[in-house]
Amino acid sequence: MTDTQVNVQESPEDDYALDKELVANVVAAIEAMDAIALDTLLERLHPADVADLLEQIDPSERRALLSLWSMGIDGDILSELEESLREEVIAFLPAGVLEEAVRDLDSDDVVDLIEDLEDQQQEQILEALNDADRVAVEQALAFPEFSAGRLMQRELVVAPQHWTVGEAIDHLRSEDDLPDAFYHVILVDSAYHPVGYVTLGRLLGSPRQTPLTELQETSFRVIPVTQPERDVAYAFNQYHLISAPVVDEDDRLVGVITIDDAMVVLDEEAEEDILRLAGVGGDESLSDRTLETVRQRFPWLAVNLGTAILASVVISQFEEILSQIVALAVLMPIVASMGGNAGTQSLTVAVRAIATRDLTGSNLLRVVRREAVAGLINGVIFAVVMAIIGVLWFGTPLLGIVIAVAMVVNLVVAALAGILIPIGLEKLGVDPALASGAFVTTVTDVVGFFAFLGLAGALLV
């Protein structure tokens, strides 16, 4: 079946971006309403690439493609689609195609597929499943969103802990319906508690009479079914897990999570952090419509307007001196801007360190001290530079001193705010990636303008 292999080295520039020519050919086939050409082009693509293509073409092209090629849409393609497009695509599929598509998926993929759909579409898909799968999916949906219970698959490969390699292999050979992907045989005691696991590699490499307990891995972690998926992803990454059994509150085995699912979560969480740090709604996607984009960007801009007005109120307290010395108006944005940037640096490092559990009670004091001293050193360097520029530009040594002192003050404050604000928000249960930026910028703007204009008022009049 190597004919389905897609050459990953098609372009020297980018191995994996969708081929521009391919997309152009697909669009041409859509416009010509040539279903056979379309099928030839799409059938050799990986489902993830078909989903990317559906996301990248125009909405009108997408509808035309779905009309021509609805029977080509399978469960894997639906799983790969961005949530914002799934409803649209599912609504477009003939009922028979949709039912066929979801029947081949593992229960965890069905859960992932339908958890954000409207009730009616959810119902339609649930009805397409056989009884066992439907019960499995409904049980998973009973767990909180973003929990291990939603992420896990229920298809398990277990063995009583007293079995030998031969017994386990014979059992596997007699099973008709093994999961699509599994990497361990989970050993359970008589109460169905997981007690260890054996990798398939060790199972295959050992004589039949070897007891499974002799092959058990030394490190073994179970995941509570209610654990947030963010923590699950962290555990996989931190402890290099390949798969991990999931247990209920009585420590009984209820499912298994595999590394590929954890990798998807890790990627989504990083994406969400990046977008939130920039003030964008964490689930914005490139195929969103314009109004959705406006909605995702608006809240942060509104918050920023509030903090900017607060800074303006600070400035307005110094209208008198500003009208006397217009150079202050020219230079004041520099102090605020440097503070804002230094604060963003510190807060980003802090937010990531909190997410990766590297910033704890044990090193907090040292990290805060380091940030403050680093802020002081950079503050002094840039203060000297700015003092020289201020004197050369405006010819007033006192103005140079004012801007230098304000710069040092604001960079130290920025460093401290950048680390203490995310930590404080985390303690209050607020996502520091989401909210730190607004607070830190407010602090650096207010302190920057106040220090610069206040000092100017004291020294220059």
Q: Considering the complex, what minimum distance in angstroms separates the CB of residue 127 from its own copies?
A: 28
428 lines the binding site for its own copies (CB under 8 A): no
Binding-site member from 105, 254, 342, 409 for its own copies (CB under 8 A): 342
Q: Considering the complex, what minimum distance in angstroms separates the CB of residue 139 from its own copies?
A: 22
> Which among 17-25, 89-97, 120-128, 137-145 is the span making contact with its own copies, rule CB under 8 A?
17-25
Distance CA 337, CA 330 (A): 13
Distances (CA, A) of 264 to 47, 236, 259, 260: 16, 11, 9, 6
Distance CA 218, CA 233 (A): 21
> Which among 45-53, 93-101, 115-123, 127-135 is the span making contact with its own copies, rule CB under 8 A?
45-53
Distance CA 8, CA 14 (A): 9
> Which among 32-40, 62-70, 110-118, 341-349 is the span making contact with its own copies, rule CB under 8 A?
341-349
Neighbouring-strand partners of residue 223: 246
Residue 73 or 353 having the CB closest to its own copies: 353
Q: Considering the complex, what minimum distance in angstroms separates the CB of residue 119 from its own copies?
A: 29
132 lines the binding site for its own copies (CB under 8 A): no
In 59-116, DSSP assigns E strands to none
Distance CA 331, CA 324 (A): 14
Under DSSP, is residue 175 helix (H, G, I), strand (E, B) or coil? coil
Residue 130 or 290 having the CB closest to its own copies: 290
How many other C-beta atoms lie within 10 A of the C-beta of residue 305?
A: 10
108: its two tokens: 């965890």
Q: Scan residues 141-170 and list those touching its own copies (CB under 8 A).
A: 157, 169
- Binding string, 64-103, against its own copies, x = CB under 8 A? ----------------------------------------
- Binding string, 230-269, against its own copies, x = CB under 8 A? -x--xxxxxxx-x----------------xx-xxx-xx--
> Which among 22-30, 32-40, 115-123, 124-132 is the span making contact with its own copies, rule CB under 8 A?
22-30
Given 3-state DSSP classes, what are the helix, strand and coil percentages for the chain, each rounded to the nearest 5? 65, 5, 25
Q: Considering the complex, what minimum distance in angstroms separates the CB of residue 138 from its own copies?
A: 25
Q: Scan residues 357-376 and list those touching its own copies (CB under 8 A).
A: 357-363, 366-367, 370-371, 373-374
Instruction: Determine the size of the site formed for its own copies (CB under 8 A).
Output: 148
Residue 34 or 61 having the CB closest to its own copies: 61
Residues 6 or more apart in contact with residue 314 via CB below 8 angstroms = 445, 446, 449, 450, 453
231: its two tokens: 């923590």
Q: Scan residues 282-301 and list those touching its own copies (CB under 8 A).
A: 284, 286-291, 293-294, 297-298, 300-301
Q: Considering the complex, what minimum distance in angstroms separates the CB of residue 354 from its own copies?
A: 9
Distance CA 228, CA 246 (A): 12
Nearest alpha carbon to residue 450 among 305, 267, 252, 314: 314
Cβ pair 439, 304 in contact under 8 A: no
Q: Considering the complex, what minimum distance in angstroms separates the CB of residue 33 from its own copies?
A: 20
Nearest alpha carbon to residue 140 among 172, 167, 105, 112: 112
Distances (CA, A) of 247 to 41, 226, 232: 44, 9, 13
272 lines the binding site for its own copies (CB under 8 A): no
